[in-house]
Structure 1
């Protein structure tokens, strides 16, 4: 019996270290498609499976290249106190003040979102279907990451407060348990964003402001739960794994008063609105008449390499999702 329990524990840690975050990212991209106008739905609805599945490519790339990790977060508390006025919002200004190496060391997600937005706009201008779909899927991932409080805090996995595992608890375990059956994703329609840079920085600041609450409420709640009540062996995708118990997860979500659902809704709206804004800025091209409809051999090879790296390698750079002890 002890050997079986140990085997289940090891299996649970293995699965979690490779799976955390995928569910929410796919849901966000998928729901975002339905916020688009009919002129865009002709492309996005037809390719919703691709946009959904490839929402997680940036996370897989963290297993392939070391520079990928910094694109997912910003430890903005490194630059002082809220609202972090010491950190210039323009990339060149920030580089001049802190150096590119420093910015890379503490994360670049808001600037990377702006760069990906520029690339997507260019793809629309070129009417390149393959590039539009790839960039849309990946841009959605980075925008969603900017909405996660622990992607905007140096204590990104509770490693400084003995809360290892809280990162994935917030962004994966809670949505996986509650999103499909209890949360409302009727949001409305995508809207044009006049200043995408200011928009994404505001979302980062919101995330940073919420990080202390995310950590504090988990600490308070675990004082009321014994270890055997905080964790349990439960079914996850058809496999029994050790994870945060349903009762602890529900109690945490209730204590946060809907924060995770709210941030997920905001991420869906933001992703759709960024896609829409890129299309408008490109002159609203007819998406039923695009070139490069098929993925290239290089595209397919890249997807294969990402999957191989994800399955067979370890994360290169910072691992903000280390499983709980």
Structure 2
């Protein structure tokens, strides 16, 4: 059951990532990945830090799922990414933003996943809450005036585009948080106070369209400050979840095995589409070399997402085995993890053979005969008319 849930989550991610997402995406995907990776290094406990480092590749995916998956999947997702601070409490609606509540709710969900030893869910939630915390450090996500002079998208790009130029200060202590909602709200208040500063450094003179300050020393300092605060805040939220759960990290030696699940139809005719999900010993998606064999034919599976592979076999190959039940076998291999196989029996339906149509000399004879009949009929009609 757990493997089916992993496969379903990855498959949904692939499908929805192809859909357009019209809402803003704070810090862009790689900006989120860069900050999330830095936060891993700040986890105080060496064993927990090793666990997060081991699965940094997966956190690099889950930290962007709120933009790439959840927004398209859940109509309630968008307000979790922002908070319009200027709207008074008695006038607020859900659409005005619920970012502080999202940080609290999904951190607590992470606590429960850690307690259960559900490492897939814990890492998915760790990436999710990291995304929200990082969004809270984008000033335009904390104000009703979120897109001044159409600069929101440019602001989102700055961490990713200028990462190598930022000066990070990650010296703040990583301590558990007493009140997660208030913690997130305080971040939003601080970010909101920086909106004017961001406007001044990013927009320049609003009356002069040519005064476009896409990058400057002042802007670099501001983005360095916000990125630094975001990284520390993410580490603190994770550490809070870990301490609240009160559990030990899993034994990573158990992760060094591999298994593969195959989802394939039991019949195929013109095309066979199948999916293979590869996971490690802790049931976390894992990239590997994935190949398939079908009868005497073989090929390489296409990577669709971390741990998810697509297999496509077209009619030319399928119809070699028309009327037969053939075994599709998928093999996954990764150095240090070993190999694994999964297979399915697939009946290949023969293509319908179209009724042959006459052609060439036979077709020409049919036309000659038809014309002759018409001519004879016409002559008969003429003769009958003359007799009258």
Specify the TM-score bucket, using the shorter chain as the normaliser. 0.5 to 0.7
Shift of 1:197: 2.4
Name which of 198, 204, 208 aligns with 2:182: 198
SS in 1 for 2:181: helix
Structure with more strand by fraction: 2
Name which of 114, 127, 130 aligns with 1:140: 130
TM-score for both structures, normalised by structure 1: 0.66
- For 2:325, the equivalent position in structure 1 comes to none
- For 1:33, the equivalent position in structure 2 comes to 40
When residues 75 and 194 of structure 1 are mapped into structure 2, their CA distance, relative to the original with a 3 A threshold, is same
- Equivalences for 1:234-313 in 2 at 5 Å? 248-251=213-216, 254-256=217-219, 258-288=221-251, 293-295=282-284
Q: Which has the larger radius of gyration?
A: 2
| Count of aligned positions | 239
Name which of 154, 161, 166 aligns with 1:183: 166
Task: Give deviations 1:101-159, integer Å, cap 9, x for gaps.
Answer: x531201000111001110111111121111110001110011111111111111112x
Shift of 1:187: 1.4
Distance 1:263 1:199 in 2: 15
Instruction: Check the 8 A contact 2:138/2:226 in 1, yes or no.
Output: yes
Question: Are positions 1:77 and 2:86 aligned together?
Answer: yes
- For 2:289, the equivalent position in structure 1 comes to none
Shift of 1:207: 1.2
Instruction: Check the 8 A contact 1:33/1:44 in 2, yes or no.
Output: yes
Name which of 151, 175, 179 aligns with 2:141: 151
Shift of 1:168: 2.0
Instruction: Check the 8 A contact 1:187/1:265 in 2, yes or no.
Output: yes
When residues 74 and 258 of structure 1 are mapped into structure 2, their CA distance, relative to the original with a 3 A threshold, is same
SS in 2 for 1:66: coil
- For 1:21, the equivalent position in structure 2 comes to 28
- For 1:300, the equivalent position in structure 2 comes to none
Shift of 1:170: 1.6
Q: Which moved more, 1:65-74 or 1:106-115?
A: 65-74
When residues 255 and 115 of structure 1 are mapped into structure 2, their CA distance, relative to the original with a 3 A threshold, is same
Distance 2:243 2:131 in 1: 21
- For 1:43, the equivalent position in structure 2 comes to 51
Task: Give deviations 1:8-65, integer Å, cap 9, x for gaps.
Answer: xxxxxx9998986112111111111111121212310100011012211001222333
Distance 1:224 1:25 in 2: 32
Distance 1:17 1:209 in 2: 23
Distance 1:71 1:196 in 2: 15
Structure with the greater relative contact order (CA < 8 A, sep ≥ 6): 1 or 2? Answer: 1
Name which of 86, 89, 107 aligns with 1:117: 107
- For 1:323, the equivalent position in structure 2 comes to none
Where structure 1 has 5 or more consecutive residues not aligned to the other structure, the ranges are: 1-13, 80-86, 88-96, 231-247, 297-302, 308-325
Shift of 1:277: 0.9
Distance 1:121 1:176 in 2: 30
Shift of 1:200: 1.2
SS in 1 for 2:174: coil
Question: Are positions 1:130 and 2:93 aligned together?
Answer: no
TM-score for both structures, normalised by structure 2: 0.55
Name which of 188, 208, 214 aligns with 2:192: 208
Point out 4+ residue stretches in structure 1 off by more than 3 angstroms.
14-20, 216-219, 221-225, 289-292
When residues 280 and 17 of structure 1 are mapped into structure 2, their CA distance, relative to the original with a 3 A threshold, is closer
- For 2:11, the equivalent position in structure 1 comes to none
When residues 15 and 122 of structure 1 are mapped into structure 2, their CA distance, relative to the original with a 3 A threshold, is closer
When residues 51 and 285 of structure 1 are mapped into structure 2, their CA distance, relative to the original with a 3 A threshold, is same
Task: Tell me the C-alpha RMSD between the 2 structures.
Answer: 3.0
Question: Are positions 1:107 and 2:97 aligned together?
Answer: yes
